[in-house]
Amino acid sequence: MEAPLISDGEITAIPQYQVTVERRVPSGLDSTLGNAGLPRAVIAASREKPKGTEGKNVNNRTVLQQHVDFWDEDGDGVIRPFDTLRGFRRLGFNIFLSAFAMFIIHLGFAYVTQSNWVPFLGNPFFKIYVDKIHKGKHGSDSETFDSEGRFVPEKFEEIFSKYDREGKGGLSFSDIRRLIYGNANACDPFGWISAVFEWGILFLLCAQNGIISKEDVRSQYDGSLFYRVAERVKEGKFRKTYFPVFYKNGRENFGDHSKNQ
């Protein structure tokens, strides 16, 4: 019988159960991240960026709150449907995809972030409240965000140890498909749809040559990716894309966001 695979002194894969071999756990994280399983409240830390995004010093906002702050442009703690529509337009998406995103996001998350348990009582306009955004955490995800909106570096690194099998430093469309399937919980259609929507939008937003870089994935967790993309769209540097129907303009090469830190 084959010997079990070992990582960091513990058995982490069993050859008889192929899924444990195919989806490897990350190893050697303690040298850069210390206790990688310890959730970080304010930074999105990775092996390459153990202190999070350079120059981003936000000590009173959870990483999940930072993730959605881009859509709260006036900083009042409330994301209205029009804020979401405008945010997606700032990211370069056309009016049709922006309106679709607005519908999906507010239908899915307005109720869970309101204070009253009666559906949409006092919230007829489907507002999303940022201070309660942690209640919008759904199943069938990577668990990089914990239930309080903190960032768990070990879970983030698992995305790539499990699904970036070629070690290319990013995720292809096929990798994302395997990731969504691998994270899917039983009887969780809302989680499945949310995962497809979120990873699909991210792929459309920043894939280059069919790959989303690890740094782009990391920086979307703390929201810094969205500001970077919006600035480049404002400068007129649009995407060169295989999906021009989704964008306002797809004529020029958008570049690799991860190189613009």
Q: pLDDT tens for residues 1-25?
A: 567 888 778 999 999 999 999 999 9
pLDDT of amino acid 8: 76
What sign for the dihedral angle of Cα 196, 202, 208, 213?
A: negative
Nearest-5° angle of CA 226, CA 227, CA 233?
90
102 DSSP β-pair partners:
none
Give backbone dihedrals phi and psi of 34, rounded to 5 degrees, phi first.
65, -125
Contacts made by residues 11-15, CB under 8 angstroms, sequence distance 24+? none
pLDDT of amino acid 120: 79
Rounded mean pLDDT of 242-257?
A: 52
Q: Which residues contact 167 (CB under 8 A, 6 or more apart)?
A: none
Q: Are 23 and 162 in contact, with CB atoms under 8 Å apart?
A: yes
Residue 68 has pLDDT above 90, yes or no: yes
Q: Are 63 and 41 in contact, with CB atoms under 8 Å apart?
A: yes
Percent of the chain with pLDDT over 70: 90
Tell me the pLDDT tens digit for each residue of 189-213. Answer: 999 999 999 999 999 999 999 999 9
Report residue 111 CA to chain centroid gap.
21
- Please tell me the pTM assigned to this model: 0.91
7 DSSP β-pair partners:
10
Tell me the pLDDT tens digit for each residue of 135-171. Answer: 999 999 999 999 999 999 999 999 999 999 999 999 9
Give backbone dihedrals phi and psi of 218, rounded to 5 degrees, phi first.
-60, -45
Angle between helices 224-234 and 189-206 (to 10 degrees): 40
Structural tokens at position 85: 């529509």
pLDDT of amino acid 69: 98
Nearest-5° angle of CA 152, CA 230, CA 48?
35
Residue at 32: amino acid letter: T
